[in-house]
Amino acid sequence: MEQSNLVASLTEEVTEWRHHLHEIPELCYEERETAAFVAERLREFGFDEVHEGIGKTGVVGVLHGNNGSGGRRIGLRADMDALPIEEANNPPYRSKNPGVMHACGHDGHTALLLGAAKGLSETRSFDGSVHFFFQPAEEGGAGAKAMIDDGLFDKFDVDEVYGLHNVPGVPVGHFHIRPGPLMAAADQFTITVRTAGGHAAAPHETVDSVIVGAQIILALQALVSRETNATNSAVLTITQLKGSDANNVIPSEVVMTGTLRTLDANDRTRIEKRISEVSKGIASAMGASAEIDYEYGYPATVNHLDQTQFAAKIAADLVGADKVEDNCPPVMPSEDFAYMLEEKPGAYIFLGNGDTAACHMPDYDFADEAIPYGVGFWIKLIEKALPA
């Protein structure tokens, strides 16, 4: 069957799967109903192997080509988890789980990969094996790392691995990708400033912890604007400052929290060190003390050159070169597919979601119009990477 006809024959069913998954959103490591649905479909498709419980709630399906299990192996990944957000939309397939919704399109990602799984199982027009990774807990739970730690690449070794994510604001039928850093490392930190505290009417009798905190906040901004190469992207944002609950008290403790986003590993370690030096130095100079608790999050998502070029060509073959941006600007959100790219050569590509609300917003929804492009991309990638 021609690929375009195959994708067209799958689109209605994939849309139904997407709507069903949207109705049953589940949070990090709670994706039991979603995982069961995925595993059931893979068995229906006649997959050679279906494994559940990888990285707690992950599912891995193995499909061999016409010539059996020999040859190269490609990994394709989709994330399954949802977010703790109350859905503002009211489609017929609205979330049935109060306070939980698919606000980032993981229902779409899972359905797209299931569609490709069904299409490839029907034709098996490739040589080698495809490992389908349905991953839990992308939204802050490091599900990719959990699967790797659970022996993902020991049990299901691959030569290359690919991932896909929808992007609101990019037209449906368009793809964006770039070699090198595509998404940022995301760390978080807490700075606690301590002084004796005192009465707000007598600041001269103590050290004002709020003023110390304010000076630290201002100084930290220079770590990006004045200490980081202007050609390197980095973001340092203080998101909270908490002191006293009373308007007549200088608190003995002020707590600030923030996030650091970097694309370059050297910037990441350097700025972490400087956050501590600057905070402690200013606090000491003003007669206070500062304690820093720094927590590393996901590393930067770094695409490998050869696989990026290959994925861009697949997309161009599918939709035309004029609809593929193969050197898009990097973005500063993070993505735990980065852990897989640290282990294996591969690439992460963005699929246009059209004029929809941004991800993580209560009025977001995955664009069903993007389904043929996502399914078609996966099928074409496998047939070209593992030619029969």
Rounded to whole angstroms, the maximal C-alpha distance in the chain is: 83
Please give the structure tokens belonging to residue 49: 């192997």
For the whole model, what pTM was predicted?
Answer: 0.95
Residues of the chain with pLDDT under 70: 1
Q: What is the pLDDT of residues 204-261, one digit of tens each?
A: 999 999 999 999 999 999 999 999 999 999 999 999 999 999 999 999 999 999 999 9
Give residue 1's pLDDT.
60
Q: What is the pLDDT of residues 107-152, one digit of tens each?
A: 999 999 999 999 999 999 999 999 999 999 999 999 999 999 999 9
Give residue 70's pLDDT.
80
* Cβ atoms < 10 Å from Cβ of 349: 27
Give residue 67's pLDDT.
83
Give residue 52's pLDDT.
98
Catalytic machinery residues:
81, 138
With the CA atoms of 147, 153, 155 and 158 taken in that order, what torsion angle do they form, in degrees rounded to the nearest 10? Answer: 130
* Cβ atoms < 10 Å from Cβ of 110: 27
Phi, then psi, of 90 in degrees rounded to 5? -135, 55
